[in-house]
Amino acid sequence: MGSGPSAESRASDGDEPPLEGVVDQEYGFRVHRVEANSPGDLAGLQSILDYVVVANGKARPGRTADPLRADRIRLDSDDGVFVKMIGDSVGGEIPCTVFNTQTLRTRETVIRPTANWGGAGLLGVTIRFDVARPLEKHTLHVLDVYPSSPASAAGLDAFNDYILGVGDLLYDGPDEFGEIVAYNCGRPVRLYVYSSRTEAVREVTITPSKDWGGEGCLGGVLIWATPVLIPLG
């Protein structure tokens, strides 16, 4: 998993107020799975929290793209433009603006598509077009993890972990999360979990079970609150 912005990622001005009007209003490509050492990982993309909202046009191989070019494209529709841009920029660069729903700010980064990074795809990233979803609607704080439970076996960390997503879905509140867990009882489920210890999102595989010897399918205490405040370090 990506561990945070790379040296080439540049945050917006720290004095800039949070862009609260973006949430639930503006669209972009939400980042899901980020493969280690992939172009997306090297660009500092973070699962679930990051949305790619603006991208430059093609930068040919051997040339450095200008992030201030006038042909920057707002990625507000799933019209195939971004996918084509990725394919056209193999061996080159794509300067991007990324909005983060944790900080409510944007940052600039550069993605270098390539088929030779050692994994699948040109970016090593799974993306999904969607509105920028409010963080508090899909965040559960892990308050306790029972010994010998599925949550314990998955390595969930009480007090420090926050569950943000399930597979390629952003659940809408605790009831929907509970329904997803119950439906997948006995089957492995992929969670996206933010750790306040590492300040990064990681993938966790958990297998809900009613037979682990305790209460519930996960064996932990989760709490949902509005607004959810994820520590920024």
Distance CA 167, CA 102 (A): 19
Q: Give just the sign of the alpha carbon dihedral 38, 102, 219, 152.
A: positive
Distance CA 223, CA 139 (A): 9
CA dihedral of residues 219, 174, 197, 31 (deg, nearest 10)? 120
Burial class of residue 233 in the structure, from the number of CB atoms within 10 Å of its CB (0-12 exposed, 13-18 middle, 19+ buried): exposed
Distance CA 210, CA 205 (A): 17
Has 138 been labeled as part of a binding site? Answer: no
Distance CA 190, CA 169 (A): 10
Residue pair 226/72 in contact by the 8 Å Cβ criterion? no
Residues annotated in the binding site for Zn(2+), as ranges?
32
Binding-site residues, in ranges, read: 32
